[in-house]
Amino acid sequence: MVASGFVDNNVSQSCHVLATAGNDNDINLWRVSFADEEELRNTETPETPIFEHRQLERSTSIHYICSLSRHEGPVNVVKFSPDGLHLATAGDTGTIIVWSVPVAKRGNGNGRHFWSSIAREADLHMQIVTRTGEGIADVSWSADSKRFLAGSIDHSVF
């Protein structure tokens, strides 16, 4: 299993979107939420006005969003771009798919929130880069999210 994710600050300070993949050819998107339940307890007495801060519990919830099913072989890598607008996926067939938040859904250039609200694969823009050769082992995004490099099992980089 491979995974990649990012924090979706527009949904919640503690909401993340996680992409996972493996030998079943699918990429699965998950919404992961972490909630800290905290309490400020009044322990005041007539002699000492004190408040005690206690963390009661940390709960985690994981919710399935949808599957992306365009790969025709096992998926080796899933990577969100640094700006959170794109997800590059690649695998054994040498095909790279870039899934993107549609331009109309970005709102002020930031569409990260869209990942946690998609319902199906068709909600995303998809671009397929087909390459002959061996499977892709890894993908790395540039800091500005405009380019990426891919390394293949046959030791080539493109």
Do the Cβ atoms of 113 and 86 come closer than 8 Å? no
Concatenated DSSP letters of 38-92: EEEEE---SS---EEEEEEEEEEEEEEEEEE---SS-EEEEEE-TTSSEEEEEET
- Number of domain units in the chain: 1
On whether the pTM is more than 0.75, the answer is yes
Q: Is residue 140 part of a domain?
A: yes
Note down the domain range covering 55: 2-152
- What does each of the 158 residues of the chain score in pLDDT, given as a tens digit? 555 555 555 444 556 899 999 899 999 999 988 765 554 455 556 665 555 555 555 678 899 999 999 999 999 999 999 989 999 999 999 999 999 999 888 877 667 778 888 999 999 999 999 877 789 999 999 999 999 999 999 888 88
Q: Is residue 144 part of a domain?
A: yes
Q: Is residue 158 part of a domain?
A: no
Q: Is residue 17 part of a domain?
A: yes
Q: Is residue 9 part of a domain?
A: yes
Q: Is residue 104 part of a domain?
A: yes
Q: Is residue 157 part of a domain?
A: no
Q: Is residue 38 part of a domain?
A: yes
